[in-house]
Structure 1
Amino acid sequence: SHGRQRLPFAVLALPRAFSEKSPGTAEFCRFPRPAGLMLEGSVPLGRAKRNLRWHSFQNSHRPSLNSASLEINRQSSAQLNLLQKCSLLRLTAIMEKYSVPHKQAWTWTVPKFMKRSKVPDYRDKSVFGVPPIINVQRTGQPLPQSIQQAMRYIRSQCLDQVGIFRKSGVKSRIQALRHMNETSPDNVNYKGQSAYDVADLLKQYFRDLPEPIFTSKLTDTFLQIYQFVPKEQQLQAVQAAIILMPDENREVLQTLLYFLSDIASAEENQMTAGNLAVCLAPSLFHLNVSKKESTSPRVMHRRGTMGKPDQKDLNENMAATQGLSHMITDCKKLFQVGGCGALSLVLPSYAYPHPLSEFVCQGEGKDLHSYFEQNVRNLLKESSEKFKGWLSTPGPLNTELSCKKVGDGHPLRLWKVSTEVEAPPSTVLQRVLRERHLWDEDLLQSRVVEALDKDMEVYHYVTDSMAPHPRRDCVVLRCWRTDLPRGACLLVSISVEHDKLQVEGGVKAVVLTSQYLIEPSGMGRSKVTHICRADLRGRSPEWYNKVFGHLCAMELVRIRDSFPALSPNGPETKI
């Protein structure tokens, strides 16, 4: 149909390895088409419609699974959305093929989310017992900094400690470390601490999470893969299950497995992947936990059966140990796109930045200026109408947060956040434009690539991510105005491809739109409204719905807090 791009029929077929029919015969009948396998393909900015394949397919029609472009954390939100649907088909095919229906011990079903009547409140907790999604909303990263710091300390200082994670630490010292994490999470220092104490602290962190890092929804699936699926198919089954994990949990799992792989690689500590798995599997899978205060759904479900372990418990313990050992050993393969990556997924052109040349008409920049002028008019009109039609949601730290669906076919919502800043509009604009290092904690580098006009430029900045995840590169075309009524200022940005800049090593994040409207509010203050929509790569639309608005709000809070509070008799903004 007009304006839509259908996926190749191969996406709906199960891979041949999972069909019991002869090669070349696809098995469709047992698996209905998942909803949403057709993408809207409307094209913004009037550009010609192009069907772009994944980066790997631009170079070869036979991509290698070892290719960096097939890493999960490099896929767009639209790609990841499709990969999750494809992975569910693959996993269902594998699990149904190897199910044991005549044995009551196990029947595989697609897990369902557990419903809770009350959403837990984590305001009184900083580190322990706080789920990854809350950490992302607070800081932008799924692991607390103090836990990342503990991993760095062990990796850099303690790899030679014999029996690390096997030998116990001293309970009183571990409790002191735990107290330090909770009361001063930003000022934790592990220098001089016992490696065994810090290792036990890490085990406690994962054991005290509200649910296993594999999630309550998927933990049993991981255990069943390592109990029932043949070894030669376990890797692709686990790859599919990992893609189905929430993005923040998957990122924590990848960080943890790479960390454990480094420990297992150091022979002097005598801790192989198998030894580490024996010591850590109970904490990661929440096995053998009998604490009455535990809130893990898995533990709550099994609380009434505590006592002597039955055969099912023993089988699960063995599967957890063998599975974790396999995941540590093969950690570099787990976070690659599996069999779905071999399918040619044609995606709409909005998933990629626009070449700068598409904006410029015969070198005069007419299209460029007209595009930004239209953005300015639209934003000022929305502001004058008090942003009607936006859905409000609670914002953190004295911010107003709202969102709306755009309807252009892209799965991501548009987010808007506003707050009062103790500085006049021109000063705030200068802070956003030229002083990013004062408010962006993750900034690694930034520079102006090319000045196109006195108020227009191509700007490149790089932000860090939680190790071992790749950094994110953004190349944006941005234009600003300081001549608006009442002394207001405005900044508009959008991602572009620039022929003078080759991004190496990082992931190209795509800023679909970023707009700052900075209006005077009296007494030398400004009301700042930030509207943003960006694809950071490696995250599904669900992640953006839960997290991205909070990240925009926290970014604006950091800009606000980078200014000292004005005195009551501060300078009046000129109006």
Structure 2
Amino acid sequence: KVAAMKRTATVPDTETLDLPGMLLLHRGGRRNTTFGVDFQEQVDKFRTKVPPIVSKCLSEIDKRGVMIKGIYRVSGVKSKVEHLCQRFDIDPEAVDLEDVHPNIISNVLKLYLRQLPEPLLTFRLYSDFIHAAKENMSGQLFGENLLEQLKRLISRLPSSNLCTCAVLMHHLHRVASHSEFNQMSASNLGIVFGPTLLRPLEGSTSLASLVDTPHQTRAIELLITHAHILFGPSENFPVTPSQTPVEQLNQTLGGVIIP
């Protein structure tokens, strides 16, 4: 049985990156390919269920960043973050991250997810995820009932959102497994990613979103902690772009989610 989870840690506030203009339109009026672009438009363009920027960033952090203290919390150098964002918007498939510090990569990934016109977990399911988190925090929903409810919610995501969410949550689970060294437990990662992956239609600065912040955090914490139960084995959702073609991931979806 999975007991109702308790919050035990907090993450200090960090500098919020704000890169206006560059994320909306390049000089000369050329439209962005990545930042601020509709999620489905991106996966259709690159014929993959996981956008290249997500696959590349997660893959590199898996290789070099999971042991870094404060990964995903510590801010990177703003000019370097902006430069990498521009490279991804020019040609995301051509970006090489081998010599980029993981803190820069993690900041770019967070910024990308924050700039999606609709959050990864969608506006439509916002209230349902928040409700499940509230019931878990109050002790009304836990154990198998909690997991079944989360599985039902996940199954309602568009397939590309679901695949990307699965890849991301398995990655964050790996990060959290090294929390003794990086100090980024599932609860701390939930604080970082909650308001980014779950936000209401009114916007992340709305009163509803501010009131719901603890529940956004808990919902993501639960998805991270129980990634293997909710999404299936991580082997079904490889991070490397060449391993996530549309056809393979369509087959993977069939056996992962309980309707």
In which range does the TM-score fall when normalised by the shorter chain?
0.7 to 0.9
Unaligned segments of structure 2, at least 5 residues: 1-29, 255-259
Task: From 153, 158, 163, give the equivalent of 1:251.
Answer: 163
Cα shift at 1:538: 2.6
Partners in 1 of 2:123 and 2:198 — Cα distance?
Answer: 9
1:244-393 aligned within 5 A: 244-266=156-178, 267-286=180-199, 297-299=201-203, 306=206, 309=207, 313-335=209-231
Partners in 2 of 1:468 and 1:167 — Cα distance?
Answer: 25
Partners in 1 of 2:142 and 2:149 — Cα distance?
Answer: 10
Cα shift at 1:124: 2.3
User: Structure 2 counterpart of 1:335, which letter?
Assistant: F
Partners in 1 of 2:130 and 2:78 — Cα distance?
Answer: 31
Cα shift at 1:471: 7.1
Checking the alignment, whether the CA contact within 8 Å between 2:53 and 2:109 is kept in structure 1 is no
> Secondary structure at the residue paired with 2:119?
coil
User: Structure 1 counterpart of 2:82, which letter?
Assistant: Q
User: Structure 1 counterpart of 2:195, which letter?
Assistant: P
1:359-410 per-position Cα deviation (integer Å, ceiling 9, x unaligned): xxxxxxxxxxxxxxxxxxxxxxxxxxxxxxxxxxxxxxxxxxxxxxxxxxxx
Q: Please tell me whether residue 231 in structure 1 is matched to residue 138 in structure 2.
A: no
Checking the alignment, whether the CA contact within 8 Å between 1:225 and 1:238 is kept in structure 2 is yes
Compute the RMSD of aligned alpha carbons. 2.8
1:130-209 aligned within 5 A: 130-209=37-116
Percent identity for Structure 1 against Structure 2: 24
| Moved beyond 6 Å, runs of 4+ | 468-472
> Secondary structure at the residue paired with 2:162?
helix
Partners in 2 of 1:204 and 1:186 — Cα distance?
Answer: 18
Checking the alignment, whether the CA contact within 8 Å between 2:56 and 2:240 is kept in structure 1 is no
Partners in 2 of 1:225 and 1:537 — Cα distance?
Answer: 26
Checking the alignment, whether the CA contact within 8 Å between 1:255 and 1:468 is kept in structure 2 is no
How many pairs does the alignment contain? 214
Aligned to 1:387: none
Aligned to 1:402: none
> Secondary structure at the residue paired with 1:135?
helix
TM-score w.r.t. the length of structure 2 is 0.73
Cα shift at 1:273: 0.7
Checking the alignment, whether the CA contact within 8 Å between 2:65 and 2:102 is kept in structure 1 is yes
More helix by share: 2
Checking the alignment, whether the CA contact within 8 Å between 1:212 and 1:219 is kept in structure 2 is no
1:15-94 aligned within 5 A: none
Checking the alignment, whether the CA contact within 8 Å between 1:142 and 1:252 is kept in structure 2 is yes
> Secondary structure at the residue paired with 2:71?
coil
Aligned to 1:546: none
Q: Which 10-residue stretch deviates more, 229-238 or 155-164?
A: 229-238
Q: Which has the higher contact order (CA 8 A, sep 6+)?
A: 2
Aligned to 1:129: 36
Partners in 2 of 1:324 and 1:537 — Cα distance?
Answer: 22
Checking the alignment, whether the CA contact within 8 Å between 1:226 and 1:234 is kept in structure 2 is no
Q: Please tell me whether residue 242 in structure 1 is matched to residue 138 in structure 2.
A: no
Q: Please tell me whether residue 538 in structure 1 is matched to residue 248 in structure 2.
A: no
Partners in 2 of 1:125 and 1:330 — Cα distance?
Answer: 35
User: Structure 1 counterpart of 2:161, which letter?
Assistant: N
Cα shift at 1:179: 0.5
**CA gap 1:157/1:468 in 2 versus in 1, 3 angstroms:** closer
Unaligned segments of structure 1, at least 5 residues: 1-122, 288-296, 337-463, 475-506, 510-534, 540-575
Checking the alignment, whether the CA contact within 8 Å between 2:55 and 2:240 is kept in structure 1 is no
Partners in 1 of 2:199 and 2:244 — Cα distance?
Answer: 32
Partners in 1 of 2:182 and 2:52 — Cα distance?
Answer: 26
Greater Cα radius of gyration, structure 1 or 2: 1
**CA gap 1:180/1:334 in 2 versus in 1, 3 angstroms:** same
**CA gap 1:182/1:135 in 2 versus in 1, 3 angstroms:** same
Partners in 2 of 1:282 and 1:189 — Cα distance?
Answer: 29
Partners in 1 of 2:166 and 2:238 — Cα distance?
Answer: 10
**CA gap 1:468/1:182 in 2 versus in 1, 3 angstroms:** closer
Cα shift at 1:280: 1.5
TM-score w.r.t. the length of structure 1 is 0.35
More strand by share: 1
User: Structure 2 counterpart of 1:329, which letter?
Assistant: T
User: Structure 2 counterpart of 1:230, which letter?
Assistant: L
Cα shift at 1:208: 0.6
